Amino acid sequence: MDNSAIAAVFEELAELLEFRGENPFRIRAYQNGARAIRDLDEPVAQIADDPERDLAALAGIGKTLAEKITVLLETGSLPQLTELRQTVPEIVIAMARIPGLGAKKASKLHAELSVESLDDLAAACHAGKVATIKGFGKKTESTILAGLAIAKAASERIYWAAADDITYELGMYMQGCDGISQLQWAGSYRRGRETVGDLDLLAVAEDRSAAMDYLEAYPGRVSTIARGDTKISIRLAKAFQVDMRLVDAEQFGAALQYFTGSQAHNIHVRKIAKERGLKINEYGVFQIDDETRIAGATEEEVYAAVGLPVIAPELREDRQEFIWAEKDELPELIKLEDIRGDLHMHTSATDGQNTIREMADAAIERGLQYIAITDHSQRVSVARGLSGDQLLEQWKIVSEIQSEYEGRLRILRGIECDILEAGGMDLPDEVLSQADWVLASVHFGQKQSRDQITDRILGAIENPHVDCVAHPTGRLINRREAYEVDMDALMQAARQHGKFLELNANPARLDLNDIHLAAAKRLRIPIVINTDAHHVDGLAVMRFGITQARRGGLTASDVANTLDFEAFEKQLNS
């Protein structure tokens, strides 16, 4: 079992135990363990197999979870989870999450109506069956129907890129509110997580009621969920929720730190504070003995009060940030302006919308020094992939066009070459050997076994003409899981053969993920952040890749296409 599968077991255990009302400390232990395992940048099986390392010594694991991990690695299952699943039907848990229902009513509905799915529950409501059960009635029936629609929509996290659009539009709107002196987004959006479930907005305002009125007048508001003295929650289209909290100026930094999270990061900060005789909450930093406030207006003073530098929001996941801070080694995270090249884009020769010249001109407008034209190879017939002869013709055109851009942009002759289902590359070596830049990709056979897919990619990495593996796990966020691949073996091979790995900046991909990026950084594997643009506007997604790279702790020196072309070419040919 890989890290993700083991973490999923512990997450399900925690949920089932919580539903049964078990010991909250036990529940939290499983939750913490699941998070610790997901955050590891190496396989937990590798740690377990190392006689010189102790699983139980890992933060968030401990003896009990280490024993269960051993069982999972040896057998692939956990008897405790099997037993718990039999006591709490999955549909009951799903119903309990509906606003206004809860565990007791969900259990009663399941027992009385034999409801086996949320669709069954909706049908029972429409048929008037729920209202006939003692303790329910027509009002509860209506509440359930409304809650079903909300729960279904609200359960769908949106891309960070989509959340970014909302924050821009709503943020610009709120700047028109007189009396607001400070305004900042917090939560998982500020940390740059690849998907966002809701949005948190912090504000300092002279008239809090007027600020709330202004938010309620936002044209995109569908409804107001709740409104109090210091907080208002509204719902936008598709059930997306925005919470705005009003705080005092002297509290703003503490509130921003607290509501940015993550929870694990904040717990660690509070632990450090307690060791110093302090306590931290959303209102400020206080002396424990006499409640004297010593900080809170800015994040800088909040972190300084506990002896820490300000930690970039993207790093606040309680992974490496405190170790780095203690050693004064917090990385200077990569920025969009560090990027010099883009090495994955498509043109109208295959499934792109613009010509080579149009892509080149757009790249120059964005300040790039070099690009690679990487249309699809022939296996991707749906995208009119290029045969060897067609590709050679395209490269002749690239060489001719290059003279027009001399001194302004270097255009590399590239290809996104498929790794065939049976192994090997989609184009012969005599063609690939003439390329400036070769990306290897898996587009077909994604449901093959872990060993098959891993062997295919390892074969591509070993090919002397392949330079980089593009979108290495093949995932599409919220739409398609990553294919089964041994990422540790892939990275070890990339390191051994001196190959690059891509961070695909398309917001639906963001592949590699932040954990993989941290592993690549540790192994000193060069990353290239590419847009995979299929039209000139597609070059704009580079900033989403930058956000993902920052979550992985990457600096400009970890990313090869931050180099000027001469230095990049030297690294490519080394």
8 Å CB contact between 113 and 130? yes
DSSP annotation of 33 reads H
Same-domain pairing of 381 and 322: no
Same-domain pairing of 180 and 147: no
Give the pLDDT confidence score for residue 111 in this predicted structure: 84
The type of residue at 328 is: D
Same-domain pairing of 184 and 225: yes
Phi, psi of 102 (to 5 degrees): 90, 170
List the domain range (segments joined by +) for residue 204. 158-246
CA 207 → CA 179, 231, 485, distances in Å? 7, 13, 55
In a domain, 59, yes or no: yes
Q: Give me the residue label for tokens 């070459």.
A: 417
- Phi/psi region, residue 422 (left: phi>0; alpha: psi -120 to 50; beta: rest), is alpha
Distance CA(503)–CA(499), nearest Å, equals 13
Helix orientation angle between 103-113 and 118-126, rounded to the nearest 10 degrees: 80
In a domain, 331, yes or no: no
The CATH number covering residue 143 comes to 1.10.150.20
Among 246, 272, 287, give the residue marking a domain's end: 246
The CATH number covering residue 56 comes to 1.10.150.110
In a domain, 475, yes or no: yes
Distance CA(92)–CA(69), nearest Å, equals 28
In a domain, 269, yes or no: yes
The total number of structural domains that make up the chain = 5
Identify the CA nearest to 417 among candidates 398, 439, 385.
Answer: 439
Same-domain pairing of 164 and 125: no
Give the pLDDT confidence score for residue 465 in this predicted structure: 98
In a domain, 539, yes or no: yes
Residues 6 or more apart in contact with residue 314 via CB below 8 angstroms: 191, 192, 333, 547, 550, 551
In a domain, 387, yes or no: yes
Distance CA(335)–CA(546), nearest Å, equals 7
8 Å CB contact between 465 and 441? no
Same-domain pairing of 168 and 142: no
The number of residues in the chain equals 574
Give the pLDDT confidence score for residue 565 in this predicted structure: 97
Q: Which segments of 117-205 does DSSP mark as H helices, in order?
A: 118-126, 137-154, 160-174, 187-191
Same-domain pairing of 108 and 148: yes
Distance CA(139)–CA(67), nearest Å, equals 49
Identify the CA nearest to 276 among candidates 305, 310, 318, 309.
Answer: 305
In a domain, 98, yes or no: yes
Same-domain pairing of 241 and 211: yes
CA 104 to centroid of chain Cα atoms: 34
Q: How many CB atoms lie within 10 A of CB 437?
A: 23
Same-domain pairing of 378 and 456: yes
Among 128, 154, 180, give the residue marking a domain's end: 154
CA 87 → CA 94, 97, 477, 501, distances in Å? 15, 18, 32, 45
Same-domain pairing of 24 and 135: no
Strand, coil or helix: 294: strand
Cis peptide bond upstream of 262, omega within 30? yes
Same-domain pairing of 433 and 462: yes
Distance CA(71)–CA(1), nearest Å, equals 11
All residue ranges of the chain with pLDDT < 50 are: 154
8 Å CB contact between 519 and 487? yes
8 Å CB contact between 415 and 438? yes
Distance CA(295)–CA(254), nearest Å, equals 8
Same-domain pairing of 31 and 98: no
Among 154, 170, 185, give the residue marking a domain's end: 154
DSSP annotation of 251 reads G
**What is the four-CA torsion angle of 129, 131, 136, 138, rounded to 10 degrees?**
140
Six token digits for residue 371: 């690009």
The CATH number covering residue 359 comes to 3.20.20.140
The CATH number covering residue 208 comes to 3.30.460.10
Same-domain pairing of 222 and 306: no
Strand, coil or helix: 197: coil
In a domain, 359, yes or no: yes
